[in-house]
Amino acid sequence: MKLPAVNPTQTKSWKALENHFNAIKEVEMSTLFSEDSSRAEKFTIKWEDFYVDYSKNRITEETMQLLLDLADEVKLKEAMASYFSGDAINHTENRAVLHTALRASASSEVFVKGENVIPGINQVKEKIKDFTQRIVSGKQIGFTGKPFTDVVNIGVGGSDLGPAMVVDSLRYYKNHLNAHFISNIDGDHINETLEELNPETTLFVIVSKSFSTQETLANANTVKSWFLKTGTQQDIEKHFVAVSSNIKKVKAFGIHQDNIFAMWNWVGGRFSLWSAVGLTISLSLGFSNFEKLLLGAQKMDTHFKTEDFKSNIPVVLALLSVWYNNFFKSETEAVIAYSQYLNKLTSYLQQGIMESNGKGVDRTGKPIQYQTGTIIWGEPGTNSQHAFFQLIHQGTKLIPVDFIGFAQSLYGNQAHHDKLISNYVAQTEALLHGKKKADIIKDLEAKNVAQETIERILPFKVFKGNKPTNSIFINKLTPGSLGELLAMYEHKIFVQGIIWNIYSYDQYGVELGKQLANTILSEIKEEKTSVHDTSTSQLLAHYKSFK
């Protein structure tokens, strides 16, 4: 089934939301809290080990009802059925979007063009499991008979960001293998990584769905040449494996058939860590942790599929995001995790969110007249408080923030954890209430600050508050809860794409730059000349003057 194409701005609920927005845009959240003692409870979803408090948003029950009406009017339920059942909802590439099938139970059935894809997924999982066990246990050894100590993932975009983020986020659960990630075509990046490695004990995992990405192929070739300085052509088989849906190209690169882990064209790169793209995750954390990650995602899938929209975490978060993006005209959203482990979460989400929903044409092919794709940014708290929170608190832009935190620390360092979480909670409170003139004067007077000074600095000390936040509290960072969190954001992306009437699963916008880079490269290599604007020609000439 094709996704329904409903222009959201032409729906009844959108119009009602516009009127409602005008009525409540100046309302202070702190007033809403003081008027309704059950507000926090009303706007909190408790599910499994998640506690999602979205009461600190500029919403009323009417707002939520209108947003839920919008979800109905754009036929979200029907779209979800298509998403999970394997319809070609990636219409522009004529593909299904089935990362959810990768974590479905082994006995389920999901059909793509009449074929149940689950048995194929199970087979690859078995292969990942078997390979992981052989490498981790030291049964499979390198070309000089030594067990592997290091794994290098070579890939870019979705073939790098997901595995790199998960391995880093869950490093508490890791085994003895050290994982490295080579992604950038920057030769200094590859050099720095190779310097730390011994070819005799290093396993290379080349990950590329297309197996035609310039960066990945160049990096893989460089690594291969580096390896061949010590090993021989026959030894490659022991040290190089590949993950791809382009088996022909992998073989042409010289990878042995047994060392190829298949993936499918119905897995988008930015949603692929659940497939064999997650091989480095499995190697670094062990297959059972990889399975737990998948199981967490599966639980979130079920929640998303079956829960009433009113208490459905991804749906509610997506609706709130639309509320700010399209009515308050917020330009960006921040994601602040109060966990250093989640240091790479935002870069990962940037691809998922911005590559998916950064679209300017609707599902009928017409240019869109409203805002789509949110800009995502953020760094872990508390570090970010000392970096850019100034702008969130006192700047001119309205920036909704997702605060993510864990109730328990992994090492149980309670004194630190209490401080960490007190910052998390305090920031959401500060953003909600701000600090009004009267309170500032009271504080300053208590410190005996001169009246003249108080008057001079007062305007600069005011915090307007009324800044929206979602508090996502999770019991503990585990492979399972991380899986749940990532799937939550994946479904949020889906819901927003449906509401905005766009196709979220292609990425044609990354192609043009790639093509032009090839043309420019042949010019740098003096193979060809082309006509450019004067700025581009000048830049090229400047670069070439260093050669």
Ligand X SMILES: O=P(O)(O)OC[C@H]1O[C@](O)(CO)[C@@H](O)[C@@H]1O
Residues near ligand X (CB under 6 A) are 155-159, 208-210, 213, 216, 269-270, 355, 507, 510
Long-range CB contacts for residues 106-113, cutoff 8 Å, separation at least 24: 110/84, 110/85, 110/86, 111/85, 111/86, 112/86, 112/266
Task: Report the nearest approach of ligand X to the CB of residue 52 (Å).
Answer: 29
Catalytic residue among 139, 229, 386, 542: 386
Task: Report the nearest approach of ligand X to the CB of residue 66 (Å).
Answer: 34
| Known active-site residue 514 | yes
* DSSP string computed for 491-505: HHHHHHHHHTT---S
Rg of the chain (C-alpha set): 26
Cβ distance to ligand X smaller for residue 13 or 507? 507
Residue nearest to ligand X (CB): 269
In angstroms, rounded to a whole number, what is the distance separating the alpha carbons of residues 41 and 30?
15
Which H or E run includes 375?
Answer: strand 375-377
In angstroms, rounded to a whole number, what is the distance separating the alpha carbons of residues 164 and 267?
18
Identify the three-state secondary structure at position 460. Answer: helix
Buried b (16+ CB within 10 A) or exposed e, 87-120: bbbbeebebbbbbbbbbbeeeeebebeeeebbee
Identify the three-state secondary structure at position 124. Answer: helix
Identify each DSSP E strand in 195-279 by its residue range: 202-207, 240-244, 260-262
What size, in residues, is the chain?
A: 547
In angstroms, rounded to a whole number, what is the distance separating the alpha carbons of residues 202 and 229?
14
Cβ distance to ligand X smaller for residue 100 or 213? 213
Are 432 and 467 within 8 A, CB to CB? yes
Task: Report the nearest approach of ligand X to the CB of residue 486 (Å).
Answer: 15
Identify the three-state secondary structure at position 179. Answer: strand
Catalytic residue among 355, 379, 484, 490: 355
Are 388 and 346 within 8 A, CB to CB? no
Cβ distance to ligand X smaller for residue 92 or 302? 92
Which tokens go with 83? 């998403």
Cβ distance to ligand X smaller for residue 138 or 360? 360
Closest CA to 203 of 168, 170, 176, 171: 176
Cβ distance to ligand X smaller for residue 76 or 206? 206
Catalytic residue among 42, 514, 528, 544: 514
- Residue 37, Cβ density class (10 Å: 0-12 exposed, 13-18 middle, ≥19 buried): exposed
Are 149 and 198 within 8 A, CB to CB? yes
Closest CA to 342 of 383, 298, 301, 296: 383
Task: Report the nearest approach of ligand X to the CB of residue 370 (Å).
Answer: 25
| Known active-site residue 310 | no
Cβ distance to ligand X smaller for residue 86 or 155? 155
Task: Report the nearest approach of ligand X to the CB of residue 544 (Å).
Answer: 26
Cβ distance to ligand X smaller for residue 438 or 512? 512
Cβ distance to ligand X smaller for residue 106 or 510? 510
Task: Tell me the sheet residues that pair with 95.
Answer: 90
In angstroms, rounded to a whole number, what is the distance separating the alpha carbons of residues 282 and 132?
6
Cβ distance to ligand X smaller for residue 270 or 492? 270
Task: Report the nearest approach of ligand X to the CB of residue 262 (Å).
Answer: 13
Task: Report the nearest approach of ligand X to the CB of residue 91 (Å).
Answer: 17
- Residue 150, Cβ density class (10 Å: 0-12 exposed, 13-18 middle, ≥19 buried): middle
In angstroms, rounded to a whole number, what is the distance separating the alpha carbons of residues 180 and 385?
29
Cβ distance to ligand X smaller for residue 39 or 180? 180
| Known active-site residue 209 | no
Task: Report the nearest approach of ligand X to the CB of residue 417 (Å).
Answer: 35
Dmax over Cα atoms in the chain, in whole Å? Answer: 82
The residues assigned a catalytic role are 355, 386, 514
